[in-house]
Structure 1
Amino acid sequence: MTAITEVQSLADWRGEEFTGGTERKFSLTEVHQAEVIAAVDAVDAAGLALTDISRENFPLPTLGPFLKRLTTELMDGRGFGLVQGVPVAELSEGQRDIAAVGIGCHVGYVVPQNPGKAALLHVRDVGADPRVPTTRSYQHSQKLGYHADPTDIVALLCIRPAKSGGLSTIVSSVAVHNEIVRIRPDLAEVLYQPWWFDLRTGDGPDSFRAHPVYIAHGDGRISVRYGPDYMRSAQRGAHVPPLTADQVEAMAVLDRLTNDPRFVFAMDLHAGDMQFLNNHVVLHSRTAYEDHPEPERRRDLIRLWLDDDRNPNASARTVVED
């Protein structure tokens, strides 16, 4: 294997750089909010399905150009952004779904998230036991390991935060990569070899897939695919080999660095905040949280999976829930 080297990228950042807390934030103006509400009303009145929403039938005359620039920042810049002030309080539950998809369409192509080809899902604690191998990370309230989702972009629209906890934290997978190259080049090579992941779709062989943690592209970029919870649960697969000593050590180093305060940037999401992350260069996590007892006050985030629609093959993606 060719020696692994550091990657030069705008996405190589550390959380400690962002002491002001205002980086990559954009607050909607009253004009932007009015555009969102008008577009939602038009889609709602037409009775369009979420899967039929597009830039054309969800026009955002002044907000749309900003969201287009946000796509560039996500894919070619730092890899993250936060839009604040989405008018969720003025919308019904169904209209909030419309708003999330409509805004997302201006950033990328909406990718189906499960076998039912849903345009979105709600991240809520439904009482699922995180110790059960087929439980999804969005179904419980416990802390999540740093991970990347399987599309170009993941977006989260906060409808309601938790009573306490549930802090969203992100790290640059490029910065972590480069640090590993510097301190443990031997383990960097291990991360470019195949690893087994649990898709949690069942117990058969189709529920498990092997691919590297890091992939190098010909243009000098890299992509990450990491998820310690899903990698460890892959060990339940009858045909999945045990983790090697090098893999165990590599995961330990990855987990130590991704939880290192020097690398972590926290984003405390409030109602109306919409977070966008580039899954190729950013890993994300969430702290454990406690919910309000009343159902109507419980934590609720809308998750979208998006592909960069500047890629002509983006609309061809078919994703089974991960």
Structure 2
Amino acid sequence: MSTQVLNRPVTGPNVWTAADLPSDEAFVRHLTPAELDAADEALAAAAGRPVHGPARGDLPAPGLAGLAADLVERLENGAGYVVLRGLPLGTRYSPEQASRIQWTLARHIGEVVPQNRDGDLAEVLEDPRHPAQRSGSHASKAGAPFHTDPADVTGYLCLAPARSGGARVVASTATIYNALVAEHPEWLELVYRDFATDWDGRQPDGEPGWSPRPIFSVAGGALTCSLSPKRIISAMRFEEVPRLNAEEMTCLMYLESLLRRPGTAVHVEPRPGDMEFVNNHTVIHSRTGFVDDPSDPGHRRRLQRLWISRGADGRPLVPALRRWRAGIA
């Protein structure tokens, strides 16, 4: 079957730049008093259950169904990135209770799936010197590179911000695509090819350390992006991975440069209790470097990350991307 190539610009609410927005508040959705009361009811009904469970549909949180539906609408048909703000962490809710609320909302959005071959459904990102912290760019105090995760949606809960830095940086992949259409249409067919992408040591058992993924693809009329420039380049460390030719490398560096053009990406400073949701098919994200305060636990960066699969409810995907929708197992 031939690959479908979209030769025209994308339109819709998932096309945006920082210059289009009045501020990063455009992505913020504030919790209402009624929703906080519904969260209290959900916590009371779930007392005694494991924090990360039970199955979707069994969660006693009918009062949060409307909120979850709004989040899905914003992710699937809106900008693709939402910051849910207003969870009073440390006063009304403990970190464990906030974690349970995040999990409950994630389960109403989709299915929480494993992030690594150990089957971890929730991973806490913090100072890499912490003995429980895994290695990788997500665990570095240096800025993380732009990337998309294999899951449909990535969810973050800010348990504590850094003393300084650690901002989320997000950009519309449709905006990047439109620039490509306008400036370098000769590269359109190239970006629909499969590029080896490094798993960064997190590959499923029995799989090589890389997987082939198209940078852009179209399925069911929907444009999807899977782009991690640094991991495409690092995949060449594997002997069996073909070297990028001059055109491929130039195109990749061009896409990276688009993400760093002034006015393209938005920086969002995390606050305690913030819950972020990223549609990995329409938004690419990174993070700025950060500095912790070793004497103040309230300013030592800790984020809980979930990967969420939308399954049959999510957008159509080409087979190379669809196979990772269930996470890493």
Q: TM class by shorter-chain length? A: 0.7 to 0.9
Q: In structure 1, what is the equivalent of residue 52 of structure 2?
A: 50
What CA distance in whole angstroms lies between the structure 1 residues aligned with 2:71 and 2:327?
24
Amino acid in the other structure paired with 1:193: R
Unaligned runs of 5+ residues in structure 1 are 129-133
Q: In structure 2, what is the equivalent of residue 250 of structure 1?
A: 251
2:23 aligned with 1:17, yes or no?
no
2:14 aligned with 1:6, yes or no?
no
Amino acid in the other structure paired with 2:105: I
Secondary structure (helix, strand or coil) at the match of 1:246 reads helix
TM-score for the superposition, normalised by structure 2: 0.86
Amino acid in the other structure paired with 1:189: E
Task: Give the drift of 1:49.
Answer: 5.1
Secondary structure (helix, strand or coil) at the match of 1:64 reads helix
What CA distance in whole angstroms lies between the structure 1 residues aligned with 2:277 and 2:146?
16
Q: 1:1-322, aligned counterparts within 5 Å?
A: 4-43=7-46, 45-48=47-50, 50-61=52-63, 63-89=64-90, 90-127=92-129, 135-201=135-201, 206-219=208-221, 221-294=222-295, 296-297=297-298, 298-308=300-310, 311=313, 317-320=325-328
Task: Give the drift of 1:318.
Answer: 3.0
What CA distance in whole angstroms lies between the structure 2 residues aligned with 1:260 and 1:108?
34
What CA distance in whole angstroms lies between the structure 2 residues aligned with 1:249 and 1:116?
36
Identify which range, 27-36 or 136-145, moves more after superposition: 27-36
Secondary structure (helix, strand or coil) at the match of 1:222 reads strand
TM-score for the superposition, normalised by structure 1: 0.88
Describe the superposition over 1:264-291 as per-residue Cα deviations: whole angstroms up to 9, x where unpaired: 1121110111111111110011101111
Task: Give the drift of 1:20.
Answer: 3.8
Aligned residues: 312
Task: Give the drift of 1:22.
Answer: 2.6
What CA distance in whole angstroms lies between the structure 2 residues aligned with 1:228 and 1:127?
26
Describe the superposition over 1:72-124 as per-residue Cα deviations: whole angstroms up to 9, x where unpaired: 22112221211101232233333332222112122222222222322211121
Unaligned runs of 5+ residues in structure 2 are 317-321
Identity of aligned residues (%): 25
What CA distance in whole angstroms lies between the structure 2 residues aligned with 1:215 and 1:202?
24
Q: Is the 8 A contact 2:143 2:289 kept in 1?
A: yes
What CA distance in whole angstroms lies between the structure 2 residues aligned with 1:83 and 1:318?
25
Q: Is the 8 A contact 1:100 1:157 kept in 2?
A: yes
What CA distance in whole angstroms lies between the structure 2 residues aligned with 1:37 and 1:160?
21
Amino acid in the other structure paired with 1:9: G
